[in-house]
Chains A and B, each alone.
Chain A
Amino acid sequence: MAERALDSDQPLLAADGLSKSYGRLTACRDVSFALYPGEVLAIVGESGSGKTTLLQLLSAQLAPSAGSVSYRMRDGVMRDLAALGEAERRFLFRTDWGYVHQDPALGLRMAVSAGANVGERLMAVGWNNYGRIRDSASSWLERVEIDIGRIDDPPRTYSGGMRQRLQIARNLVTEPRLVFMDEPTGGLDVSVQARLLDLIRSLVSELGLSAIVVTHDLAVARLLSHRVMVMKGGRVIETGLTDQVLDDPREPYTQLLVSSILPA
């Protein structure tokens, strides 16, 4: 797993008392934690437990009903996401953060070429030399194991696993410090999942990325994450080192989740 930069003393992102309600329905209540550089945090729980809402709150796509999220900008200053200016928000979304959707169609432009999908993020941060953009796009396609011969094809001609790898390349090309992933292997065949997980795992470790991964699959959490938060009914009910929570679960619900895994 990613082991670099774990000793950094300052959190990269901190959530404080985060809650989100829709009328009388509370999707997420009173979540607080800190994420450190180089750390991969998994948020696990069944459908409807509030994990995706939490991910959207953390990535400033949803405004919290209460509480706040702060993020350490590249100048080292911790800033409340709700108080950021438009330019700073854009910087986060286009450069410093990645967001990998479960459905690659949401994170890619399906009708433009794979190369353009990757190059677009670079152009958004001011790259304008066509040759350099194309070189960078090719080298990223190679890294995510996509045949360079397919660089001019649009992702709608790609298989599910290739689309997901392309989405990852598009996200990582700007060298983000933090990547959010929402069920990154959901909806893929098991064999494709293993390959993707292995790829994510090695990229995260090579690049020293921090990541927050939402998954209902405990095997994904075990393979990718250092720490895990278990959610149920919008609350975090158990948290700790991933292998500790999975091998020695304390809460009744976590014990149920762990014992529900079918042996392969």
Chain B
Amino acid sequence: MTAMIDISDAEKTFIMHLQGGVELPVVRGVSFQVRAGECVVLSGPSGAGKSSILKMIFGNYRCDGGRIGICHEGVQIDLAKAEPRQILSVRRATIGYVSQFLRAVPRVAAIDVVAEPLIANGAAREHAREQAGSLLRALNIPQRLWALSPSTFSGGEQQRVNIARGFISDLPILLLDEPTASLDAANRAVVVDLINAKKRAGVAMVAIVHDDEIRHLIADRIVDVTSFAAAA
């Protein structure tokens, strides 16, 4: 079985022009693969570059060297060199990303925030909202909140809206940046179930999780990011 994600020798350095052009090497020699139905957890202390790697795979951070191979609609493409239009197409059809924080759009109801990725992919509004509702219900967001903008929600509620939005699509690759960080035990268990369901559906996942217990429950393999440390 071929890898859904095939990263080789990827590297990232920030150049801080406003601080006298200081070079901040983040990671170097990043190489690993993720197959369909597998969840790879990135481990390492804060600042080791876990989130940066996730952002590079999503095309949010640019990659200064190496290759980020993504299997997109049956073809391998190198996201490190892809055009913006290709990256958008990859995000629409292939890679989903669940960040730690919801970037709330003013005035948009929680249920529509969740349904949006499906609608953007051509699903009927009614169907998308039904799916969104069942995810919100599973994540214990009370129905009376669905019609409100999540900008007023608590941190944990916002994170659950974000998780619902990330899990609603049937994308073959999912990137999870601390999906359980501000959740209580019951909701953490729901997220573990959602992740396991995605695995069974053949989704390739890369996750960052600090909670040891959750890590044991979801990780098929652990990649230690400290081995990619770019010596400063």
Residues of chain A touching chain B, judged by Cβ–Cβ distance below 8 Å, are 1, 3-4, 6-7, 36, 39, 194-195, 197-198, 201, 205, 223, 226-227, 240-241, 243-244, 247-248, 250-252, 255-256, 259
In the complex, residue of chain B having the shortest beta-carbon distance to the beta carbon of A239: B84
Contact between A244 and B61 (Cβ–Cβ < 8 Å)?
yes
Q: A205 to chain B: which residues have CB within 8 Å?
A: 120
The docked-state distance in angstroms from the alpha carbon of A126 to that of B15 is 57
Contact between B107 and A198 (Cβ–Cβ < 8 Å)?
yes
Q: Taking A244-B59, A247-B55 as contacts, is the C-beta distance between A198 and B88 under 8 angstroms?
A: no
The one of B15, B106, B120 in contact with A195, judged by C-beta atoms closer than 8 angstroms, is B106
Binary interface profile of B, 99-113, with partner A (CB < 8 Å = 1, else 0)? 000000111100000
Q: B60 to chain A: which residues have CB within 8 Å?
A: 243-244, 247-248
A-B contact count (CB 8 A): 61
Contact between B85 and A6 (Cβ–Cβ < 8 Å)?
yes
Q: B106 to chain A: which residues have CB within 8 Å?
A: 194-195, 197-198
A-B CB contact pairs (8 Å), 8 listed:
A3-B92, A198-B106, A198-B108, A240-B84, A243-B60, A244-B84, A248-B14, A255-B16
Least Cβ–Cβ distance between A206 and chain B, in angstroms: 10
Q: A226 to chain B: which residues have CB within 8 Å?
A: 84, 88
In the complex, residue of chain A having the shortest beta-carbon distance to the beta carbon of B105: A198
Contact between B17 and A6 (Cβ–Cβ < 8 Å)?
no
Least Cβ–Cβ distance between B152 and chain A, in angstroms: 13
Residues of chain B touching chain A, judged by Cβ–Cβ distance below 8 Å, are 14-18, 55, 59-62, 84-85, 87-89, 92, 105-108, 120-122
The docked-state distance in angstroms from the alpha carbon of A117 to that of B113 is 33
Least Cβ–Cβ distance between A203 and chain B, in angstroms: 14
The docked-state distance in angstroms from the alpha carbon of A248 to that of B61 is 6
Least Cβ–Cβ distance between A7 and chain B, in angstroms: 6
Interface centre among A1, A223, A243 (most CB of B within 10 A): A243
Contact between A247 and B61 (Cβ–Cβ < 8 Å)?
yes
Least Cβ–Cβ distance between B222 and chain A, in angstroms: 27
The docked-state distance in angstroms from the alpha carbon of A6 to that of B89 is 8
Known interface pairs A7-B89, A198-B105, A252-B17; 9 further A-B residue pairs with C-beta atoms within 8 A, sorted by A's residue number: A3-B92, A4-B122, A198-B108, A243-B60, A244-B59, A244-B62, A250-B62, A255-B16, A255-B18
Q: B84 to chain A: which residues have CB within 8 Å?
A: 226-227, 240-241, 244
Q: Taking A226-B84, A227-B84 as contacts, is the C-beta distance between A3 and B62 under 8 angstroms?
A: no
Contact between B61 and A3 (Cβ–Cβ < 8 Å)?
no
The docked-state distance in angstroms from the alpha carbon of A250 to that of B21 is 11
Q: A194 to chain B: which residues have CB within 8 Å?
A: 106-107
In the complex, residue of chain A having the shortest beta-carbon distance to the beta carbon of B17: A252
Least Cβ–Cβ distance between A229 and chain B, in angstroms: 11
Q: Taking A6-B85, A241-B87, A241-B88 as contacts, is the C-beta distance between A223 and B16 under 8 angstroms?
A: no
In the complex, residue of chain B having the shortest beta-carbon distance to the beta carbon of A34: B85
Q: A251 to chain B: which residues have CB within 8 Å?
A: 17
The one of B17, B55, B62, B88 in contact with A255, judged by C-beta atoms closer than 8 angstroms, is B17
Contact between B120 and A256 (Cβ–Cβ < 8 Å)?
no
Least Cβ–Cβ distance between A183 and chain B, in angstroms: 19
In the complex, residue of chain A having the shortest beta-carbon distance to the beta carbon of B107: A198
In the complex, residue of chain B having the shortest beta-carbon distance to the beta carbon of A253: B17
The docked-state distance in angstroms from the alpha carbon of A36 to that of B86 is 12
Q: B59 to chain A: which residues have CB within 8 Å?
A: 241, 244
Contact between B85 and A36 (Cβ–Cβ < 8 Å)?
yes
Least Cβ–Cβ distance between A205 and chain B, in angstroms: 7
The docked-state distance in angstroms from the alpha carbon of A199 to that of B92 is 22
Least Cβ–Cβ distance between B112 and chain A, in angstroms: 9
Least Cβ–Cβ distance between A242 and chain B, in angstroms: 8
Q: B17 to chain A: which residues have CB within 8 Å?
A: 251-252, 255-256
Q: B105 to chain A: which residues have CB within 8 Å?
A: 198, 201, 223
Interface centre among A240, A248, A251 (most CB of B within 10 A): A248
